[in-house]
Amino acid sequence: MKLGMIGVFTITLLALAGCASIFSSQEQVTPSIDKEKAAKINVQLGVEYFKQGELEQALKKLERAIQQDPDIPSAYNAMALLKQRLGQTEEAEKYFQRAIKLDPAYSEAQNNYGVFLYNQGHYGDAEARFLEAVKNPLYGTPELAYENAGMAAQKLAEFDKAERYYRKALQLEPRLPKSLYHMAEINFEKGHYQRAQEYLQRYRVGARHTPKSLWLGIKIERELGNEDAVSSYALLLRRNFPDSPETKLLQKSLDRQ
């Protein structure tokens, strides 16, 4: 299961209202402050272009922002995301590192860099970035960083640690689908079938079933001896995902019976 891109690629935008007024001759500002304000506006514009898929325009605005203010962390974070989208991974990493060097408490950049490292298969380094993100008490979505840390730890087969992270995420936001699913998964692997069932039921409340969640439900209910529930999950899996690998696993398991 991939990391959630919407949550983990959050870019904090400053309000755009009144942007044009910063160039007013009535404002008494020094050239350096004026450049800082202009740089912030160009970051905002670059992010908006990025969100709209106008990558060339986004690149121009972000490059301009860095020229105007070489020490603006948000420009480097946004540039890193843009370079990642363009498949320029080495450049992306350099920009992420620059952003967090300028501001180690910049949680969005720490979390985004963690996602980048996770996608590169560097799970231990990714986990460290996610934990850096939650150190800032002002970070708006620490539950997502904890969830990401759990997924990184789970990739490293450090299941107890992963479970601790998922618990922290769920304490902050009890309805996080990925954390609920992975808690069900881990508890199943540990042989805690009743607990796994409870987590999967909570998952079902706020998320649509996937082939993986339905197959997990089948395995859990088989262990608990709930044949009606097994049949219900199997019906949903066959009906909604007939060509999935999980449906093939289901058929193989039935053939062996």
For 217-249, write each residue's pLDDT tens digit: 999 999 999 999 999 999 999 999 999 999 999
Asked whether residue 12 carries a pLDDT value surpassing 80, the answer given is no
Residue 212: which CATH number?
1.25.40
- Under the banding of pLDDT at 50, 70 and 90, the label for residue 112 is very high
Per residue, the 3-state secondary structure of the chain, as one string, reads: CCCCHHHHCCCCCCCCCCHHHHHCCCCCCCHHHHHHHHHHHHHHHHHHHHHCCCHHHHHHHHHHHHHHCCCCHHHHHHHHHHHHHCCCHHHHHHHHHHHHHHCCCCHHHHHHHHHHHHHCCCHHHHHHHHHHHCCCCCCCCHHHHHHHHHHHHHHCCCHHHHHHHHHHHHHHCCCCHHHHHHHHHHHHHCCCHHHHHHHHHHHHHHCCCCHHHHHHHHHHHHHHCCHHHHHHHHHHHHHHCCCCHHHHHHHHHHHHC
Whether residue 97 is contained in a domain is answered as no
Which pLDDT value is given to residue 5?
Answer: 42
Work out how many domains the chain is built from and give that number: 1
CA distance linking residue 185 with residue 213, whole number of Å = 9
Domain region containing 209: 176-249
CA distance linking residue 113 with residue 94, whole number of Å = 10
Whether residue 188 is contained in a domain is answered as yes
Asked whether residue 53 carries a pLDDT value surpassing 60, the answer given is yes
For 118-132, write each residue's pLDDT tens digit: 999 999 999 999 999
Work out the average pLDDT over 146-161: 97
Whether residue 202 is contained in a domain is answered as yes
Which pLDDT value is given to residue 254?
Answer: 83
Work out the average pLDDT over 62-86: 96
Which pLDDT value is given to residue 1?
Answer: 61
Mean residue pLDDT across the chain: 89
Work out the average pLDDT over 38-47: 94
Whether residue 203 is contained in a domain is answered as yes
Whether residue 124 is contained in a domain is answered as no
- Under the banding of pLDDT at 50, 70 and 90, the label for residue 36 is confident
Whether residue 37 is contained in a domain is answered as no
Asked whether residue 25 carries a pLDDT value surpassing 50, the answer given is no
Whether residue 116 is contained in a domain is answered as no
Q: What is the pTM of this model?
A: 0.83
Whether residue 111 is contained in a domain is answered as no
For 185-210, write each residue's pLDDT tens digit: 999 999 999 999 999 999 999 899 99
